[in-house]
Amino acid sequence: MLTNTPSSAPTDSAPGSQLAVADALMSLLRDTTTEPRPDIQLEALTLAVSADLPVLLWGEPGIGKTAALTQLAASLDLPLTTVIASVHEPSDFSGLPIVGDDPAEQGVPMAPPDWAVRLVRAGKGLLFLDELSTAPPAVQAALLRLVLERRIGALKLPPGVRIVAAANPRSSAADGWELSPPLANRFVHLQWTHDHEVVVRGLAGTWPRATLPRLDPEKLPEAVDFARRAVCGLLSARPTLVHRLPTTETRRGGPWPSPRSWDMTLNLIAFATAAGSSREVLSLLVRGTVGDGPGLELLASLDRMDLPDPEDLLADPANAVLPERGDLRQAALDGVVAAVRTRPDRARWDAAWALLVRALETGAPDLVVVPATILASLRQEDWDVPAAIEHLAGVVSLSQRADRAADRVARVGAKAGR
């Protein structure tokens, strides 16, 4: 009877060798590269980090917030220090009391934790405060001085240290808390979502590259002036926006307007202007600092700041340069009509008609319908009808016929539905 005897195992099947192979496989999986790729989330984050403002990334678990911060630190050549806020005590951020030889004379100094000492020794770094929404109120209170003054006990973090935090919404956080209003008002809040194309390409081995914005040295004074005029102009017209604490607990834990957050907004506008950032990036930053309502008002006022002066347009309508964007062009034409209404005379009325003809020749015809209708109503009896109206009559008439047709269709539809 033959029996099978086990043969001796090959050397490379030994447990130690197999672990080495497993390590090699994991090393290959971690071997990824980066590429420049437009990403407004990443650009907004790097701009806020460049402005040395604390940033808070909001996103569902597993969305890639920690991975983004790890890649950001590597790209900027900053040592990354991760602190899980929810597993620390308040004394870990306010400092641990150390009793010396003579407390009555020397007092009791507050010793900083080891991670803070390492950051000071390095002189630079990215401090990542993770799981902020699971930190209890006492820990959040202890974080106030760290986030605003960069102090832990008696130690002050060097200017080369940037602070970024991450949090999950309370509904998806483990034993989550709403952020306290004082802590929330110290951050630029960015909603972190995934782009499936970025994720697919990243899993294939190539992730977007985070780079600091390139600031144009020649634009710095202009950028500061523009930011100050934008914020101060809005707050002068809307003084109630200077400080508006939200009424609900959830909204108090997000961005809301205060003198502190307006100051951060001013800094972000200046940085975005000097860097030539897109309106989408600026929108994320502004709304993430003072909230959606005040942020959108500020963005609208920025658009108005870019509009040409109506008097300049009336002075030389033949060579006037109108905005390309439809909403801005409409606002510019409305401003011209309003200027004529405020100070009407025959020459200004004729110039406005010439400007509408130029708008018709260089843009969408429907944008001149309302301004032309209002301008026609401003005519006085002794003013002759200018030849320019002939160019616009067809457009206005066609628009009016289309409106009447739309009204008829709506009435027929209403009757059919009864």
CATH of the domain at 65: 3.40.50.300
Residue 9: per-residue pLDDT: 47
Residue 360: per-residue pLDDT: 82
- Alpha helices, DSSP H, located in 180-291: 181-184, 196-203, 220-237, 249-252, 259-275, 279-290
Distances (CA, A) of 349 to 26, 196, 341, 378: 75, 54, 9, 8
The answer to whether position 155 is within a domain reads yes
Q: Which of 186, 185, 127, 188 is nearest to 155 (CA)?
A: 127
DSSP assignment, residue 87?
Answer: G
Residue 215: per-residue pLDDT: 92
Which burial class, exposed, middle or buried, applies to 120 when counting CB atoms under 10 A from its CB (0-12, 13-18, 19+)? middle
Residue 121: per-residue pLDDT: 92
Residue 46: per-residue pLDDT: 93
**What are the residue ranges in the chain where pLDDT is below 50?**
1-2, 7-9, 398-406, 409
Q: How many domains are contained in the chain? A: 3
Residue 399: per-residue pLDDT: 42
Cβ proximity of 289 and 295 under 8 Å: yes
The answer to whether position 178 is within a domain reads yes
Residue 283: per-residue pLDDT: 95
Q: Verify that 88 and 176 share a domain, yes or no.
A: yes
Last residue of a domain, one of 286, 305, 324: 305
Q: Verify that 143 and 231 share a domain, yes or no.
A: no
Residue carrying structure tokens 């200027």: 339
Residue 403: per-residue pLDDT: 41
Q: Verify that 56 and 187 share a domain, yes or no.
A: yes
Residue 391: per-residue pLDDT: 64
The domain in which residue 340 lies consists of 310-416
